[in-house]
Amino acid sequence: MHETVFSKEIIRVINHKLKSLDGNSKISSVSVRLSPLSHVRPKTLNAAFLQMIKTSNLKDMSLNIKSSEVELECKSCGRRFNVFKPIFVCPHCKSKGFDIKEEHEFFVESVEIEKKQDVCIWYNACPLKRFYEQGKLPKGWIEDYCWGDNSKCVRKKMEEEDRYHPDNMLPDGRIDKGLR
């Protein structure tokens, strides 16, 4: 169950980091280091983490798992060497017996932050906001255009060019007769 403990640690670090972010930033991914000697495989950790975040506000976050460095000492020739992979053969004498000198089984290395797209300046006045809040318009439209890349919105272009556009025109320019 180490993967559960590690996943909880990732979420703890993320939540701590979130407290220091302004509203315009979000965490897009998190990078962790996992020892090649760990009993937890990267695939298992990834699956446990995704399972833990899937219904939370972190659900779009990705996890990068890299191997950490382990320092070993050969029992035969006494020399030390570092490994990143679970291949443990002394590079000097090819012996397979070793002692672990230094190992960090798991740690969160970094948290990647990205700026959120700006909410469209017309959002509060836009009829599509009202339709969305009334449950008549799927959230995808709002996420893609109003909270996402609103530079591609046909309504926005027409608004700025002072051209007439009906309330039931979708961001891609199509008319949805069901919207009223």
Q: Are 111 and 154 in contact (CB under 8 A)?
A: no
Q: Which one of 123, 130, 167, 176 is in contact with ligand SF4 (CB under 6 A)?
A: 123
Q: Does 156 bind ligand SF4 (CB under 6 A)?
A: yes
d(CA 97, CA 74): 6
Q: Are 114 and 28 in contact (CB under 8 A)?
A: yes
33 binds, among Zn ion, ligand SF4, none (CB under 5 to 8 A by kind): none
Residue 162 tokens read as 């002072």
The residue (of 110 and 151) whose beta carbon lies closer to ligand SF4 is 151
3-state secondary structure at position 130 = helix
123 binds, among Zn ion, ligand SF4, none (CB under 5 to 8 A by kind): ligand SF4
Per-residue CA distances from 151 to 93, 116, 127, 138, 154 (Å): 63, 14, 18, 20, 8
Q: Does 93 bind Zn ion (CB under 5 A)?
A: yes
Q: Which one of 40, 61, 128, 137 is in contact with ligand SF4 (CB under 6 A)?
A: 128
CB of 155 to ligand SF4, least distance (A): 4
DSSP single-letter state for residue 28: E
CB of 144 to Zn ion, least distance (A): 58
Give the binding site for Zn ion (CB under 5 A).
Answer: 74, 76-77, 90, 92-93, 95
